[in-house]
Every structure is written in structure tokens, then in C-alpha cells.
Amino acid sequence: MLDLALEDRAGSAPRRCIEKNPNQAGNMSFSRIVYSNNMTPRGKRILGKSIVVTIVAVVATFGLSFTARLGLQMPIDWLSWVECTFIPILIGMPVSAFIFTQAETIQETCDKLEKSYTALREAHDRLTFVSSHDPMTGLLSRGEFIARMDRKRDEGECDTLLLIDPDHFSMINDQHGHSKGDEALVRIAKALVYLTRPGDSIGRLGGEEFGVLLRSARKEQAGTIAENIRRLIEAGPMAKGQQDGVKVTVSIGGAEISPDADAQDVLRTAGRCLFEAKQRGRNRVSFDYESAKLRAVTP
């Protein structure tokens, strides 16, 4: 029993010391934390470089000092050894550590700036895309589409503009709801993307009207592409006779764009051709119009 009591007292003594001296225990823990924090990869790099520089400084000091003393026939005593050892350490170690610390700080700052620049550039690209594209269809916005129409063209170069408008679209919204109308617009946009060429531009010009800018395409080639678009939309999945299906057809008007043409004049010409297609029964392509017969029609 006496041995157990002594063991218990001996085992509890350290605990009592810690309880009586909480500040001492806290200081020990703090010193461990500081030491572990100082030995980060960054600290190891700085320490390693500083040690290398200090060793080089010590070796160089020994070489220069002893060479000078031998040349001047001065004795090499213990003081010479102390000077050549401790002076480079006392000066070289802190100076090199300071220099390498500043270098690491500058490098970290440059890395942060590069990451910030990359994030800013990505945000700018996303903002540019959002501002120049229609959010529902992913096509170009009206402003971006017209800007591409205004590009400079060489002599003899000719583009063609197509205006595509779904037939009886207001009826689709009234009878089937706006969700079906939006679905129809998305399907039209997909058909336009599928049948146009890589260099062509496609935009949603407003509401249910779409525009296609065919690069370096004359009226004959543009007419073929427009007819293929009309047929694909007419035969699309939503044009089948399901119970919840929607009959979707489009009318298309086109106009050539000469090198000196004005974008607004071309839009007006293509719009008149589009109205001409509507007047002739819809679900057709028109590149010609008769101004005397133009009248307002229901889209």
C-alpha cells in the first residue's frame, strides 16, 4: 500500500506542477508551434540558401585573409581563425536571410498577382460572352450580330443575310404556353447551328426573330441553305403529331450584302422579303419582294 501511495504521488507530481504553472506549459506549447511554423517549406528554402551563402562567405574570407597575411608575412594566430569564422557568419547569415526572405515575398506576391489576373481575365471573358450572346439560345445578341454585319468587305466579296421568323408564334404561346414557345425557339436555334458553316454568324435579333450571316455566299447558295433550314425545322421532332407536340414552321427572307451596303438597309430589305414569304402563305423562302403589295400580316 505504501509503494502504491508513493507511486501515485510520484505520478501525480508532474500534473500538479503543470496545474500550478499554466503559463509555463503555455509557453512551451507556443514555442513548439512557432518552431513548427518557422520550418515551413518557405522557411526551409530561406534557411538552406542562407547557410550556403554563409559557407561560401566563410571560405572566401579564409582565402582572402590568409592569402593577404601570407603575402604580407603576417602571422596567422587564433584571432585570425575567429575573425574569418564568426564575422562572415554574423554578417552574412542575417543579410542573406533578409535578402532571400524578400525574394520569397516578391515571388509569392507575383504568384498571387498572376492568379488574380487569370481570375479577372476569366471573369471578363464570361462577362463578354454574356453581354454578346442570348442567354436562352446561346446565339449572338442583336448588337453583336449587327456589328459582324458591318465588317469591311473586299471588292467583289458578297455576304448574304437570312431573317428567320417562326410562323404563328403568338398562337403557339397562347395555346401551348410560353414554355413550349421557348422550346420551339431553342429547337430553331439548334437547326440554324446545325445547317450553317463554321464561318457563319447566327443571332437572335429580338423576340422570335433570328438572323444568319452567310459569309461569302451569293443568293443561289444562300437560297439552298435557307431551304434546308426550312425543311429541317418543318420535319423536326416538335412538328410530329404527338398529343403535346407543336407544329413549327418558319418563313425566311434573304438579302445580299454588297461591300458598300449599309447594315440597316440590308435588314430592311431582308425584312421585306420575310414579309413577302409570310404573305405568300408562310413556311417558305423569299429573296424577292414587291413593294406595292406589301401589307401588314400576322407573324
Q: State how far the alpha carbon of 179 is from the alpha carbons of 133, 157, 226, 289, in Å.
A: 20, 41, 26, 34
| Spatial separation of the C-alpha atoms in residues 295 and 281, rounded to whole Å | 13
Residues 6 or more apart whose Cβ sits within 8 Å of residue 180:
172, 173, 246
Residue 238 gets the label, from left (phi > 0), alpha (psi -120 to 50) or beta, of: alpha
| Spatial separation of the C-alpha atoms in residues 109 and 14, rounded to whole Å | 47
Give the three-class secondary structure for 197: coil
Catalytic residue among 104, 108, 155, 208: 208
Instruction: Pick the closest to residue 287 from 276, 296, 279, 297 (CA basis).
Output: 276
| Spatial separation of the C-alpha atoms in residues 93 and 108, rounded to whole Å | 22
Task: Indicate if 276 belongs to the active site.
Answer: no
3-state SS, 109-136, equals: HHHHHHHHHHHHHHHHHHHHHHHHECCC
Catalytic residue ranges: 208
